[in-house]
Structure 1
Amino acid sequence: MSNSRDHDIVLLGATGFVGRFTASHLARSAPRGMRIALAGRSTERLRRLAEELGIDWELIEVDTSDDVAVTRLAESASVIATTVGPYLRYGVAVAEACARAGTSYTDLSGESVFVARSIAGNHAAAADTGARLVHSCGFDSIPSDLGLGLAHAAAGGVPLVAATLRVRSLRGGVSGGTIDSLRQQMIEAGSDAAARRIVSDPYALTPGPTVRLPWRAGSGWGKEQGRWQAPFVMGLYNQQIVQRSNALSGWSYGQLLRYREVVSTGRGPAGAIRAAAVTLGTGALVGALSLPPTRALLDRVLPSPGDGPDQRAIANGRFAVEIDVYPVEGEPVRARVAAPYDPGYSGTGIMLAEAALSLASDDLPARSGVLTPMVAMGEHLASRLRTNGFTIDVSPLA
């Protein structure tokens, strides 16, 4: 924490659906004396939230389209955490201002195009000012990124041949904000060939030349270890984050690493039917959002930004993923990342809040630029999440 700034953490988008969970966790978990502010478009909504949480933090009304106001906000804080998406529309100016001001930044982006443009536009500036810009600090992509990074360390830190993340359980709703982020990315990709290449390239977020392995090999529908499985909808994006961690760590995972993410759907005919349904449903959703006529139809039935499930559904949420890691030498290991929280709401709110707290107060590695959760915070963040009910462990693969 720096006393030269007015605030240790500013939470931007505090009154949104996920923002409220993040604010609530900060109110419970932030150390006494930490200077936190809530920011958003409406002072009145911020005031009501502060009253609900019983806090007296500073409230800041700000419009993310006002570059002067965004610059002033960045210069006032040591860390900005933002839930305001889609980030292609509302996050560009915030990330740029933080890079210029030497302010660390964290968000919930799962948008390949936004993150690729942030790397191109902000990495050098942030490295110069000492800012850590850490995208994707929610369910996308902390379980994938931390899980693989910690498993790699437990395997001896040697290069890896292969790694597979399997979603073992996933109960929770899909937010209107998540749908809108996917919608905006598909709109961008539909009108921009460069954006289409970014969305489909597992190495889109890695700097410089590298060995480019084919993505499709063994990455989706099928049967393995006696169980049926289907591609995970966020698997390609999470692979982009994992490979950026690989690149930023000097390709310590190995340039020949084959990483993939799948959903485990069970055994027998029922498992096969579920795998087929997940595969077809994922492809249909992405395809429909890519085309204006079908996108207009979906807009009538899909949740809108700011919408989400009721509190009972969120309270019943949970997730568990396993990452099997195979090193070039030595025994394979398995990382398990799980939590008794809705992955897209309460769980993501905790992950974003703890990432902001880590950036503000932990003794982190001397790295700056556009980083990943593993490279920026690693075990510091994992330890914080364990304290809050997350399971993050690594064991030999039986």
Structure 2
Amino acid sequence: MSNTDRTYDLVVWGATGVAGRLVAEYLTEQYRSDDLSLALGGRDETRLRELETALVEQRAGWEELPIVIGDATEPESLRTIAEDTRVVCTTVGPYTKYGTPLVEACISAGTDYCDLTGEVNWIREMIDRYHDDAVDAGARIVHSCGFDSIPADLATLLVQSFAIDEFGTPCDLVRIYLEDGRGGVSGGTMSSIVEVFQATSTDPIARKTLQNPYSLAPPGERDGVDPGVQTLPSKDPLRGEWTAPSPMAVMNERVIRRSNALLEYPWGREFECTEVVPVGSGPVGLVGASAVTVGLGVATAALTFGPTREALRRFVFPDPGEGPTKAEIEDGYFTIRVLGRGTATDGPFVVESRISADQDPGYGATAKMLGEAAMCLVSDEIDSPLEGGILTPAAAIGDPLADGLRRAGLGVEVGEWDPDQT
């Protein structure tokens, strides 16, 4: 994989943070120095050296891991790092606060980039400010390569590819189900959530970004038939059970719509997608859906109101740098199911895909997803017509990312839906 034009194939930026360390651990466990020129990046040299020592002692095939030092407040240091590597994989958030200088550096150097952001307002800013520059530079800037939003985005791509191959037409409706899961949160994740709500309270563009279902589409194409996120309990049109709004829908749905737009609408301009939480059938299902809806509404209201948002940040949320324990990560799991409905010449059909993992979705599994997204960029294992721009995982990488997730031990399946096995 190594390219002699650059010193490194890949830099893990923020390697000493909770998520960054997990990515570094995954990559050094899954790959070897003969296959990958990997460097650890951040601003604290002492902590980076400690991590290097620990990884070299624990991992066969790694005699050393170079260290690169930089600071988000010193753009020149980031430019040097970007110029020295083929791909930067960053876990340093909140991205609204720390991410822009690194994106600028990577575009300037023509360096590929991937991150974990779920900050839809910041992605919108990157699209409007830098998409054309990234296209001209041939730099693939791939946002949201973790639990936000690879499972929903990639599973939708798999459903649509299967439908087109098997039935000759895409699905006009896709439903994403947050089936099951358990995991912890870190201070970094909660800081990112606070940043989003802080931005929407002061910035009218950020507020409109969260209100418009098509806010991540290219300029001039930010409208359509899709009504956006589900806000109330509702009977599911495909499974017939009660569903509640999903807390991830605001991010994931917009990423999926951007994938469709970037790929020049292979799923049609009237394509609709909705992410929900299934809770069961009958009166019990309705009660459960109502409880989830009320809980999500209360949390949203608390984060929207400045004083309660600040109180949560100070007294409830973990501090930056804190995160789940190794045991908690290993004890986590998730399943994302996607159903797509379409109509072929011989009648309607439904396609199903699933992406699942037996680790914490936001940390153990996310480290694998981000790591494999980065490796696809390093190896140029890409099935996409796009050579640069502000991109999504599905549009930037495509089907090879599914193979990467399988290599990492995640479950990835696609086929015709059998409702009897639901």
Task: Tell me, in whole angstroms, the C-alpha distance in 1 between the residues paired with 2:15 and 2:73.
Answer: 17
Higher relative contact order (CA 8 A, sep 6+): 1
**Residue 54 of structure 2: aligned partner:** 52
2:224 counterpart (201, 207, 212):
212
- Per-residue CA deviation, residues 72-98 of structure 1 (Å, 9 max, x unaligned), is 111111000000000000000101111
Q: CA deviation at 1:360?
A: 0.4
Deviation, 1:209, is 2.4
Q: Deviations over 1:279-335 (max 9, x none)?
A: 122222222112211112212111222221222221110000110101242522011
Cα contact 1:177–1:304 (8 A) shared by 2: yes
* Equivalent residue for 1:377, pick from 397, 401, 421: 397
2:319 matched to 1:321? Answer: no
For residues 114 and 152 of structure 2, the distance between their equivalents in structure 1, rounded to whole angstroms, comes to: 17
Q: Give the corresponding residue for 1:138.
A: 146
Where do residues 119-268 of structure 1 align in structure 2 (5 Å cutoff)?
A: 119-156=127-164, 158-207=169-218, 208-209=220-221, 211-215=223-227, 220-224=232-236, 225-268=239-282
Following superposition, the deviation at residue 10 of structure 1 comes to: 0.5
User: Which residue in the other structure is 1:2 paired with?
Assistant: 3
Q: What amino acid does structure 2 have at the position aligned with 1:256?
A: E
Deviation at 1:271, TM superposition (A): 3.4
Give, in whole Å, the separation in 2 of the partners of 1:217 and 1:37: 40
Q: 1:362 offset after TM fit, Å?
A: 3.0
Q: After alignment, is 115-124 or 29-38 more displaced?
A: 29-38
TM-score between both structures, scaled by the size of structure 1: 0.96
Distance 2:267 2:171 in 1: 5
Q: Does 1:342 align with 2:360?
A: yes
The amino acid that maps onto 2:14 is G
2:85 to 68, 74, 77: 77
Q: Distance in 2 between matches of 1:133 and 1:218?
A: 29
In the superposition, relative to structure 1, how do residues 29 and 220 fare at CA in structure 2: closer, same or farther (>3 Å)? farther
Instruction: Output the CA distance in 2 between the equivalents of 1:127 and 1:355.
Output: 19
Structure 2 partner of 1:27: 28
TM-score of the superposed pair, with normalisation by structure 2: 0.90
Which residue of the partner structure matches residue 75 of structure 2?
67
What percent identity do the matched residue pairs reach?
A: 38
User: CA offset at residue 151 of structure 1?
Assistant: 0.6
Q: What do residues 55-108 of structure 1 show as CA deviations (whole Å, max 9, x unaligned)?
A: 411112211110111111111110000000000000001011111110000000
SS of the residue 2:198 aligns to: helix
For 1:43 and 1:211, how far apart are their aligned partners in 2? 47
| CA distance, structure 1, for counterparts of residue 279 and residue 292 of structure 2 | 9
Within 2, Cα distance between the matches of 1:308 and 1:90? 19
Where does 1:287-306 land on structure 2 (aligned, <5 Å)?
A: 287-299=301-313, 300-306=315-321
Please give the alpha-carbon distance, in whole angstroms, between the structure 1 residues aligned to 2:282 and 2:182: 22
Question: 2: CA distance between counterparts of 1:323 and 1:266?
Answer: 17
Deviation at 1:216, TM superposition (A): 5.0
Structure 1 residue corresponding to 2:295, chosen from 281, 298, 317: 281
Measure the CA separation in 2 of the matches of 1:314 and 1:254.
Answer: 39
1:290/1:50 Cα in 2 relative to 1: closer, same or farther (>3 Å)? same
Q: Which runs of 4+ in 1 moved over 6 A?
A: none
CA distance in 1, matches of 2:27, 2:251: 28
- Letter of the aligned partner of 2:49 in structure 1? R
Q: Which amino acid aligns with 1:191?
A: T
- Name the aligned partner's letter for residue 221 of structure 1: P
Q: Which amino acid is the alignment partner of residue 323 of structure 2?
A: G
Structure 1 unaligned blocks of 5 or more = none
Q: Distance in 2 between matches of 1:29 and 1:306?
A: 25
Report the 3-state secondary structure (helix = DSSP H, G, I; strand = E; otherwise coil) of the residue aligned with 1:241.
helix
Distance 1:217 1:283, change over 3 A: closer
1:311 maps onto 2:322 in alignment? no
Runs of 5+ unmatched residues, structure 2: 57-61
CA contact (8 A) 1:220 1:231 kept: yes
* Inter-partner Cα distance in structure 1 for 2:248 and 2:20: 21
Q: 1:306 to 1:96 in 2, by over 3 A?
A: same
Aligned residue in 1 for 2:43: 41
SS of alignment partner, residue 155 of structure 1:
helix
Equivalent position SS for 1:144? helix
Kindly provide the amino acid, as one letter, of the partner of residue 328 in structure 2: A
Q: C-alpha distance in 1, partners of 2:291/2:324? A: 23
Q: In structure 1, what is the Cα distance between the partners aligned to 2:69 and 2:139? A: 24
Deviations 1:253-279 (A, max 9, x none): 111112100111234454333322321
C-alpha contact 1:150 1:394 (8 A) present in aligned 2? yes
- Displacement of 1:2: 2.5
Match of 1:386 in 2: 406
